[in-house]
Amino acid sequence: MTDQGTNSPNFRLDGKVAVVTGAGSGIGQAVASKFAAQGASIRILDVNEPAAAATCQLIADAGGTASVHLCDVTNQEDVIARFNELFRQERVHILVNNAGISHIGTVESTTSDDFDRVVRVNIKGFYNCMRAVVGHMKTSGGGVILNMASIAGSCGLADRFAYSMSKGAVVAMTYSVARDYLAHSIRCNCISPARVHTPFVDDYLRKTYPGREPEMFEKLAKSQPMGRMAEPAEVAALALFLCSDEAAFITGVDYSIDGGFINLRG
């Protein structure tokens, strides 16, 4: 199997099973595809079964292995049931917590329902999956957990109150899990991207700026110091490194992939 024409001898995941949540599109789909290209067997947990199935088909068409497991990450009983089904069949080596939602608003415009929904998906969803997998990893010789955070969790972004809160929690949970499970050979890191060109961005522009999509896309892209958004495949490449044996000495780290946004803004 090849990945965009290359198949590096490094960063291989042969023989490993990777659970990727929210892999029906965007970053999750790119991560699942990248990991499969490097030899991992992919288990997709997603509430959107058709989208997840489409990702599986992409992986299969490229010669990889993947399966869909319908799951609502906000429901702890559902998460435990899905993971237990996997554990009865195989060892899970890698968990990528990616399923999440965005929200636009200040503290004043964020309703209680908005706030609770962001917490359920972006915080409790990550907690549910980590809680479900760490015991298995402890008794299986270790593993890797990678959480998708955001630069919004560590720097101020306008109109992102609830989203920023949730991603700050992801960073803190990452540090805590990394500390608590060092002795069990479980590594836990997170990635904090800046703006990434995903279907969410296109949908947002279509709904918010109808007829002005190209203009506003360019404006958003140029707000990054490098003058463009990241591509999902670039985030997936960093994820692959962090989940590979080449990163065996890395744990408890929040990696920014931001085109210079945090440190190079004028």
User: What's the pLDDT at 50?
Assistant: 97
CA dist 142 → 127, 137, 186 (Å) = 18, 5, 5
| pLDDT greater than 60 at residue 193 | yes
Which residue shows structure tokens 């593993």?
143
User: What's the pLDDT at 206?
Assistant: 87
User: What's the pLDDT at 1?
Assistant: 42
**Considering the chain, what is the average pLDDT of its residues?**
94
CATH number of this structure's domain 17-194+232-256: 3.40.50.720
Q: Indicate which residues carry an active-site annotation.
A: 163
% pLDDT > 90, the chain: 82
pLDDT digits (tens, 9 = 90+) for 127-152: 999 999 999 999 999 999 999 999 99
pLDDT digits (tens, 9 = 90+) for 203-258: 878 888 899 999 989 988 888 888 899 999 999 999 999 999 999 999 999 999 99
> What is the torsion angle, in degrees rounded to the nearest 10, for the CA atoms of residue 66, residue 67, residue 71 and residue 76?
-70
Confidence label for 6 from pLDDT (cuts 50, 70 and 90): very low
Q: Going by C-beta distance under 8 Å and a sequence separation of 6 or more, which residues neighbour residue 142?
A: 184, 185, 186, 187
User: What's the pLDDT at 223?
Assistant: 82
What distance in Å separates the CA atoms of residue 103 and residue 222, rounded to the nearest whole number?
Answer: 21
- Whether this model's pTM surpasses 0.85: yes
262 in Cβ contact with 195 (< 8 Å)? no
- Strand 143-148 and strand 17-21: the pairing is unpaired
In the chain, what are the domain boundaries? 17-194+232-256, 196-229
| pLDDT greater than 50 at residue 4 | no
Average of per-residue pLDDT across 144-166: 95
Q: Going by C-beta distance under 8 Å and a sequence separation of 6 or more, which residues neighbour residue 193?
A: 27, 148, 150, 151, 230, 235, 256, 257, 258
